[in-house]
Amino acid sequence: MSKRIAINGYGRIGQCILRALYENGYRDALEVVAINELSDIDTIAYLTRYDTTHGRFSGDVQVDPDGKSLRVMGDTIRVLQRDNINGLPWKELDVDMVFECTGVFGRRADAEAHLRAGAHRVLFSQPADADVDLTVVYGVNHQSLSAAHRIVSNASCTTNAIVPVIKSIDDEFGIEAGTLTTIHSAMNDQPTIDAYHHHDLRRTRSAMQNMVPVDTALARGVERLLPHMANRFEAVAMRVPTVNVSAIDLTVSLQRAADVTSLNRVMQRASSSDYNGVLAYTEEPLASSDFNHDAHSGIIDGSQTRVVNARLAKVLTWFDNEWAFANRMLDVARYWQR
């Protein structure tokens, strides 16, 4: 019997979750029964059918005549427009798990409001506060999930992309320290033209005409998943004028000697064994758009691996920051609900 899912916040990740559920074979285990989104139902239906980045939805999407539900490939999904978690009808709808995808709520107290409303579990689509029951990167620590956990974070798209890479390198060569540079596609907290848009003044500048440095907590995310790496990483991030697909430039100081061949061999092996389906590996001369709609958390570009004096290594990892993360949300939910 499939578990009943509600999506709170139907933005980029929420929409990708629904699409991936039908496209990638999760529907047998998970069923979306409700969406809470402030937009009107006709717009929600339209943005489900059509997507500039990921193309047309493969199945039929209709608005029920009562104007309160979507019909998606024969499934009925109740649509709500409530701006307050308290009082959402999760008990009435017998919701097993809420995917908290607004990007606004990240505290344990927010998740507890979903639980009080009748949901059994909550999965955040962002790095929530440290007091959640568990922060998960699928493929690294998802086997730590238990029935006792009620509030879980799926970390971030960047953490999902890079932690398996870091762990693979550390297990083989040991990592003394490192830096992370995220090269991230534009996001909806940036305007298309200069505008009063954000308290971070750089994010008031046009996303389509600028490369914009932004703050990132990626180094802290690495530490949360790999505690022995505490104080060994720093990170910076740059937003660039593309609509999807990002990359992480990882530079590490190694404890044991490596060269390009041995480093690539380790990452290629990881992508086909421990992290099969989570990581991929390529040496083809590809560009960012070639990874659009790729469900892997990260794709290591072996053609860009560099090693200096056997101890300083640089690795490039591509990732679809929307589609891959949505698929990992579904992987975590399916594993957790088994």
A 10 A CB-CB count for 155 gives 29
Q: Report the C-alpha gap between 197 and 195 in whole angstroms.
A: 5
Give the tokens for residue 66.
Answer: 């009562």
- Measured distance CA(172)–CA(158) in Å, rounded: 22
The DSSP letter of residue 276 is B
CA distance 229 to 170: 10
Check if the beta carbon of residue 225 is closer than 8 Å to that of residue 135.
yes
Contact yes or no for 300/282 (Cβ under 8 A):
yes
Cβ atoms of 35 and 19 closer than 8 Å: no
Element (H, E) at 6: strand 3-8
Contact 176, 254 (CB under 8 A): yes
Q: For residues 244 and 228, what is the distance between their CA atoms, to the nearest angstrom?
A: 32
Distance between CA 27 and CA 271 in Å, rounded?
Answer: 26
Residue 16 annotated among the catalytic residues of the structure: no
For Cα atoms 314, 315, 317, give the angle at the middle one, nearest 5 degrees.
150
Q: Using the CB atoms, write b or e for 178-202: b if 16+ within 10 Å.
A: bebbbbbbbbeebbeeeeebeeeee
168 in Cβ contact with 274 (< 8 Å): yes
Q: Which member of 44, 61, 117, 157 is catalytic?
A: 157
Task: Give the whole-angstrom CA distance, residue 214 versus residue 281.
Answer: 28
Q: Annotate 122-145 with b (16+ C-beta within 10 A) or e (fewer).
A: bbbbbbbeeebbbbbbbbbbbeeb
Which residues are part of the catalytic machinery? 157
